[in-house]
């Protein structure tokens, strides 16, 4: 029998609209922000259109030293523009560094600028995916503005343009019914559960670039159930999978820590001509390579060789053979039949 095999497919992402939204600055030289979210894919993800707020860290450096001028300042939509309180202003002969994280409201991330905390683009990010129940997208951006060669400002240096990137991996499961339609076999897959998700991890931001995720020393793992669906917004149903058809689960977010092993369990009901004939309970261990910003579809194809949960068994087709054709029955011997002569009355 073939073992259940999960193939990991990276799903192409649709890039969000690049139209920028800018702050209406109270003064010509105020520091304002605009945003763009890269690789947005579904309505549940953070996109440029549904992003409502983000946190900003900003630092200034000149010949006198460096200091934070914004420390997780909330930037939020207001009348179609981005606004923040305690407005800061551009000054000449200075270097500015910015980092931004979203979401701000209900965030499950923290950022600690590197010690001494005087520059915004160096620090450590911690994300708690367990607290987020694997349901919160997390995006990051960095930018800078070099005014060290400017001795005087005669016009506003403009807004700070943030291009955000997703820092987690997004995962769903696809189940194929590979039986032929003539087999009259339909399936139902449910109780899709994944254990081994990393609860908490950190990544180091160095000069505005975020590194790979590392599991924290106090991090455990947790489990997440994936509801199945046959169409968008039809989650948590247990629909019948027709032959040569499939279902896809809802998506959840993983922290892509290298060499993490996940255990996937799911149940399969098998029907023949609409009559349920058995239920199988499957367990699969997988160690996929996931990347930040990756959108993955874990695909399993079920057929007669692997639908059973017993590795020693499989479904065997009902087959037919002609064993013999009996001869004419010798017990029924010759019988005289009187046939009237032609012309007799």
pLDDT means over runs of 10, the chain (345 residues): 70 38 36 50 75 96 93 94 93 95 97 91 97 96 95 91 95 92 90 96 96 92 83 54 91 95 94 91 92 93 88 70 79 72 62
Q: Does residue 232 lie in a domain region?
A: yes
* Same domain as 247, residue 190: yes
Q: Domains in the chain: how many in total?
A: 2
* Same domain as 161, residue 23: yes
Sort strands 53-62 and 95-102 into parallel, antiparallel or unpaired: antiparallel
| Last residue in a domain, options 272, 287, 302 | 302
Residues facing 206 on adjacent strands: 209
Q: Does residue 328 lie in a domain region?
A: no
Instruction: Kindly report the pTM of this predicted structure.
Output: 0.82
* Same domain as 205, residue 156: no
Q: Does residue 283 lie in a domain region?
A: yes
Q: Does residue 150 lie in a domain region?
A: yes
* Same domain as 206, residue 144: no
What CATH number does the domain containing 50 carry?
A: 2.60.40
* Same domain as 116, residue 136: yes
* Same domain as 20, residue 138: yes
- Domain range for 154 is 14-166
Q: Does residue 227 lie in a domain region?
A: yes
* Same domain as 120, residue 47: yes
The pLDDT of residue 339 is: 76
* Same domain as 219, residue 253: yes
* Same domain as 192, residue 159: no
């Amino acid at each position: 029998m073939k073992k259940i095999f999960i193939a990991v497919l990276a799903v192409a992402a649709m890039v969000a609209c690049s139209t920028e939204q800018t702050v209406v600055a109270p003064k010509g030289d105020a520091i304002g922000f605009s945003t763009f979210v890269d690789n947005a894919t579904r309505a549940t993800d953070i996109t440029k259109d549904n992003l409502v707020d983000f946190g900003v860290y900003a630092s200034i450096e000149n010949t006198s030293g460096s200091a934070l001028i914004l420390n997780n300042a909330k930037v939020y939509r207001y009348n179609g523009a981005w606004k923040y309180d305690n407005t800061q202003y551009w000054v000449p002969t200075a270097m500015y560094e910015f980092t931004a994280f979203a979401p701000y409201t209900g965030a499950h991330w923290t950022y600690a600028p590197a010690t001494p905390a005087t520059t915004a683009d160096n620090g450590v990010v911690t994300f708690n995916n367990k607290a987020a129940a694997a349901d919160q997208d997390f995006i990051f951006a960095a930018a800078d503005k070099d005014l060290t060669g400017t001795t005087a400002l005669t016009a506003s240096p403009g807004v700070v343009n943030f291009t955000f990137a997703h820092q987690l991996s997004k995962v769903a499961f696809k189940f194929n019914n590979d039986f032929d339609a003539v087999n009259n076999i339909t399936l139902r897959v449910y109780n899709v559960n994944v254990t081994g998700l990393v609860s908490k991890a950190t990544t180091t931001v160095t000069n505005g670039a975020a590194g790979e995720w590392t599991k924290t020393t106090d991090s455990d793992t947790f489990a997440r159930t994936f509801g199945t669906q046959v169409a968008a917004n039809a989650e948590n149903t247990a629909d019948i999978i027709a032959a040569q058809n499939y279902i896809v689960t809802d998506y959840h977010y993983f922290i892509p820590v290298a060499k993490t092993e996940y255990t996937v369990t799911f149940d399969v009901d098998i029907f023949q001509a609409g009559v349920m004939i058995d239920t199988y309970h499957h367990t699969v261990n997988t160690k996929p390579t996931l990347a930040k910003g990756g959108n993955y579809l874990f695909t399993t194809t079920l057929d007669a060789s692997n639908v059973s949960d017993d590795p020693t068994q499989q479904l065997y087709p009902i087959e037919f053979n002609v064993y013999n054709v009996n001869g004419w029955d010798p017990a029924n011997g010759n019988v005289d039949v009187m046939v009237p002569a032609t012309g007799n009355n």
